[in-house]
């Protein structure tokens, strides 16, 4: 393979440096919860088809590892790499089948698609490190199996990126040496020093870099000091006010040297200049950002009225009403059916979603999670994260029963394969049914009240990427609605507060801490197949209208009113949610209609949360380049193609100005018209964004709260059925009201053949049915164990988790700790 080195002009965080060098060292949660309350399904249940998107089995991964080592022996792959100067298999996972191969198997009983693996290999070519994608298959390994460059899914024309950092650990050690050289200054200004013998001394300082520019042969970085925040993982709200810029324009670290210092709004061109200013009596000192009880995420001692009692909880006395095939990870619930799978970069994805036997979506899942900051210091000024790089799936950690999910939930495991290691993530996905505190529907009539419970199904995971915990859930409602929801919690990435700060980028939230404004934009893919693969997208616009109607005249010559105007979306485009909610975005079947002649459809709408989900505020981000153009609009409507399965790739983080997947080449205004002159087959795909414009305030200290950071999009049936599909499945009650004309129900003691009158005969009052339930009710004698209300978490045995640490903008602290300790 020929590699052509190109100049790389990037604004990268140190997170870009860590993962590819050390990802194989991540430890993962290993746990068990013995005997927590879980009602088991009595009847066996099997998926109708195999889960063709499932992650590799342990045996499959082992065979692929052996096969790749043999086939690519010329790369001198090692099983235990020590840096990016070694060649090794970074990770393995399933290469998901193309939709054109999967659909015939799912819907036409064709042969099951071939199974392939995807391998990312860190390899050295001419002394320079690269990350290269390969495809391995078909599986199981046989004489037919091959190792081929995985190229067709990348529109950059290549399947590799050049790794700009060869030895992340040495960079960390360099940062320690920088800090040690100015320990007298940090002791005076910050009240602490780094401990080179124990870099994670709770009383010591950290010194971490943010790569601000990478060019051919070198880079420059800003290092910032942080306090440890070891008690609650609060490092990102403990930044300190000393920054050091390093001139790293040489591959030889011995040539590196500090170039500038920044403190209290002043840049100093050398250490000597900084020292000289520090020694002067008029030197202006900033406050020290110290740890303390204010960073604790819990309060064990407060006793306000009511805390002596436990809160209400949801229980499930009679067991689950959904059916689950755990082996195939297939779910069936009141007309919904779908498969579950995971990927290291993106976490949960659902496939082949059907409702009442009709196709709704082929694929629904996360593509990328981006956070972009702004600020007036060297760290915040270029800060951004692309969390698929760290692994939204790899960082799906164990869920706490009774808290992350109800005690009665079903829990599924996930796994990943990195550098010859298998990492199990037990109980990292939960599935449960829940009844909301508000009704699905209700109505008070003259003689009766009808109330229908709002029960829905949830598939949930939590990805902890450094300082933030992202709860991602897929919610299914009885009427056929599907909601995708994200909630965030955790520590903000704060900025050091100096007297020179203004409120241009945030608020002062502690003695020496300022918040930093930032945008969260999480991109999802929804490959809709509404009643089949041939679909159209329309905008149903609510528009004002002035029109003359014959029944108005002569009193009103013209009436000011409104009407609906349908606009076809006939080319690929990015759309934003309209002002005043004045348009409906609807995906319609091109062929199927309901009983009333209306095309079957699903509407895409902002869901429950903190307003409409946003897109990126920054225009032509200097940091992002072309790596995340999907963040520039709320919704994208595109042609679906096998060669364009994703909007982004984790390795875009390394090459933002020349990404492996350039979304502008996917969203390139191709026609969405279905006509004889077009090769387009009517199979469209929607990419949509969730997230928030986050301006942290004092209420975000110590942690951001989930109900203030929720965002969702809903896919709502629009003429998809002939009537409300929830009516036959919902649980509820009709209560007759007292009155001389009040009576029973249809067909009971009617005064005439009009069964809709619901009026009882005179004299039959004693026979009146005052209440009638639709769906089952609970009976007397229900008994539940204590763990149905409060699982005994003393039985929750879980190993320590090395969460990706973003205190220095995204690098993996767990990796760094291991290397230092080793």
**Collapsed DSSP state (helix, strand, coil) of residue 631:** helix
Q: Assess contact for 224 and 242: CB atoms under 8 A.
A: yes
- Encoded tokens for 625: 């380049």
Nearest to 213 by CA among 775, 606, 712, 623: 623
Q: How far apart are CA 601 and CA 695, in angstroms?
A: 37
Tokens 């193309």 correspond to what residue? 98
Closest CA to 789 of 321, 407, 399: 407
Which residues does the annotation mark as catalytic?
387, 468
97 vs 627: CA distance, rounded Å: 25
User: Beta strand 347-355 with 323-325: parallel, antiparallel or unpaired?
Assistant: unpaired
Give per-residue burial for 547-559: e unless 16+ CB within 10 Å, then b: eeeeeeeeeeeee
Which tokens hold the place of 757? 């009158």
Angle between helix axes 183-190 and 168-181 (nearest 10 degrees) is 70
| CA atoms within 13 Å, Cβ hemisphere of 245 | 19
What does the block give as tokens for 428? 């990292």
Could you give the 3-state DSSP secondary structure of residue 601?
A: strand
- Burial grade of 503 (CB within 10 A; 0-12, 13-18, 19 or more): exposed
Burial class (CB in 10 A: 0-12, 13-18, 19+), 813: buried
User: Based on C-alpha coordinates, what's the Rg of the chain?
Assistant: 30
Are 416 and 29 in contact, with CB atoms under 8 Å apart? no
Q: Say if residues 23 and 815 touch (Cβ distance below 8 Å).
A: yes
For residues 640 and 661, what is the distance between their CA atoms, to the nearest angstrom? 15
- Residue located via tokens 């436990």: 310
Cα–Cα distances in angstroms (integers) from residue 383 to residues 85, 551, 697, 795, in the given order:
27, 63, 19, 40
Please confirm whether the linkage preceding 140 is cis (ω < 30° from 0): yes
Whole-number Å distance between alpha carbons of 653 and 384 = 10
Q: Strands of 441-444's sheet, edge to edge?
A: 441-444, 448-452, 732-736, 771-774
Task: Determine how β-strand 455-465 pairs with β-strand 468-477.
Answer: antiparallel
Scored b (16 or more CB within 10 A) or e, 39-70 reads eeeeeeeebebebbbbbbeeebbbbbbebbee
Cβ-contact 404, 458 below 8 angstroms: no
Q: Are 701 and 294 in contact (CB under 8 A)?
A: yes
Task: Give the number of other Cβ atoms within 10 Å of residue 145's Cβ.
Answer: 17
d(CA 188, CA 194): 13
Neighbours of 87 (CB within 10 A): 21
Measured CA distances, 83 to 92, 169, 655 (Å): 19, 8, 20
């Amino acid at each position: 393979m020929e590699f052509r080195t190109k100049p790389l002009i990037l604004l990268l965080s140190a997170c870009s440096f860590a993962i590819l060098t050390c990802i194989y060292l991540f430890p993962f949660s290993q746990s068990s919860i013995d005997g927590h309350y879980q009602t088991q399904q009595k009847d066996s249940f099997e998926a109708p088809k195999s889960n063709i998107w499932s992650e590799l089995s342990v045996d499959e991964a082992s065979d692929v590892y052996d096969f790749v080592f043999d086939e690519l022996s010329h790369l001198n792959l090692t099983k235990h790499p020590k840096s990016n100067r070694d060649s090794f298999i970074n990770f393995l996972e399933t290469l998901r089948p193309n939709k054109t191969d999967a659909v015939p198997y799912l819907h036409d009983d064709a042969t099951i698609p071939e199974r392939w693996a995807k391998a990312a290999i860190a390899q050295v070519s001419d002394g320079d490190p690269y990350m290269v994608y390969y495809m391995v298959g078909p599986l199981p390994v046989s004489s037919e199996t091959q190792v081929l460059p995985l190229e067709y899914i990348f529109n950059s024309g290549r399947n590799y990126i050049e790794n700009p950092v060869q030895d992340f650990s040495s960079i960390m050690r360099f940062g320690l040496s920088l800090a040690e050289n100015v320990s007298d200054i940090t002791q005076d200004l910050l009240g602490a020093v780094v401990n080179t013998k124990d870099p994670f001394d709770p009383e010591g300082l950290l010194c971490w870099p943010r790569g601000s520019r990478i060019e051919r042969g070198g880079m420059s970085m800003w290092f910032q000091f942080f306090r440890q925040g070891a008690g609650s993982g609060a490092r990102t709200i403990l930044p300190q006010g000393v920054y050091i810029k390093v001139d790293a324009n040489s591959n030889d670290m011995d040539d590196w040297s500090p170039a500038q210092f920044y403190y209290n709004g002043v840049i100093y061109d050398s250490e000597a200049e900084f020292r000289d200013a520090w020694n002067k009596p008029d030197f202006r000192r900033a406050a020290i950002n110290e740890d303390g009880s204010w960073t604790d995420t819990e309060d064990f001692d407060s006793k306000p009225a009511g805390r002596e009692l436990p809160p209400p909880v949801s229980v499930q006395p009679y067991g689950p009403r959904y059916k689950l095939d755990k082996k195939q990870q297939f779910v069936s619930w009141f007309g919904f059916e779908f498969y579950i799978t995971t990927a290291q970069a993106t976490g949960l994805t659902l496939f082949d979603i059907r409702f009442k036997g009709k196709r709704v979506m082929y694929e629904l899942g996360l593509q990328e999670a981006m956070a972009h900051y702004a600020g007036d210091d060297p760290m915040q000024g270029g800060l951004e994260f692309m969390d698929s790089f760290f692994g939204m799936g790899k960082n799906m950690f164990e869920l706490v029963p009774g808290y992350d999910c109800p005690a009665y939930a079903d829990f599924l495991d996930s796994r990943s394969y990195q550098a010859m290691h298998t990492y199990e993530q037990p109980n990292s996905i939960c599935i449960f049914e829940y009844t909301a505190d508000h009704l699905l529907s209700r109505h008070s009539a003259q003689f009766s009240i009808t109330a229908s419970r709002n029960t829905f199904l949830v598939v949930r995971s939590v990805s902890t990427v450094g300082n933030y915990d992202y709860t991602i859930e897929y919610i299914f409602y009885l009427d056929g609605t599907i909601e995708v929801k994200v909630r965030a919690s955790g520590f903000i990435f704060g900025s050091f507060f100096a007297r020179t700060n203004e409120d241009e980028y945030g608020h002062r939230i502690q003695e020496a801490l300022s918040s930093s404004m930032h945008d969260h934009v999480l991109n999802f893919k929804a490959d809709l197949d509404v009643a089949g693969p041939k679909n159209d997208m329309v905008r149903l616009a609510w528009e004002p209208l002035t029109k003359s109607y014959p029944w108005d005249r002569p009193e009103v010559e013209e009436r000011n009113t409104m009407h609906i105007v349908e606009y076809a979306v006939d080319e690929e485009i990015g759309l934003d949610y309209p002002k005043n909610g004045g348009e409906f975005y609807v995906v319609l079947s091109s062929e199927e209609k309901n009983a009333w002649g209306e095309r079957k459809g699903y509407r895409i709408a902002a869901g429950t949360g903190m307003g409409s989900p946003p897109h990126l505020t920054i225009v032509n981000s200097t940091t992002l380049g072309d790596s995340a153009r999907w963040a520039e609009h709320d919704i994208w409507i595109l042609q679906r193609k096998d060669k364009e399965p994703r909007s982004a790739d984790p390795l875009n983080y390394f090459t933002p100005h020349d990404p492996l997947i350039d979304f502008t080449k996917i969203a390139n205004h191709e026609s969405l018209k279905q006509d004889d002159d077009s090769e387009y087959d009517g199979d469209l795909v929607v990419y949509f964004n969730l997230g928030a414009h986050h301006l942290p305030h004092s209420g975000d200290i110590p942690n951001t709260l989930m109900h203030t950071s929720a965002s969702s999009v809903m896919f709502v049936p629009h003429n998809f059925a002939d009537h409300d599909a929830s009516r036959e499945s919902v649980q509820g009650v009709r209560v007759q009201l007292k009155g001389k004309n009040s009576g029973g129900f249809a067909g009971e003691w009617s005064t005439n053949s009009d069964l809709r009158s619901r009026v009882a005969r005179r004299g039959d009052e004693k026979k009146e049915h005052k209440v009638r339930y639709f769906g089952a009710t609970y009976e007397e004698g229900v008994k539940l164990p204590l763990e149905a209300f409060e699982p005994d978490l003393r039985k929750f045995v879980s190993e320590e988790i090395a969460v990706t640490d973003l205190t220095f903008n995204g690098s993996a602290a767990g990796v760094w700790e291991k290397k230092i300790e080793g």
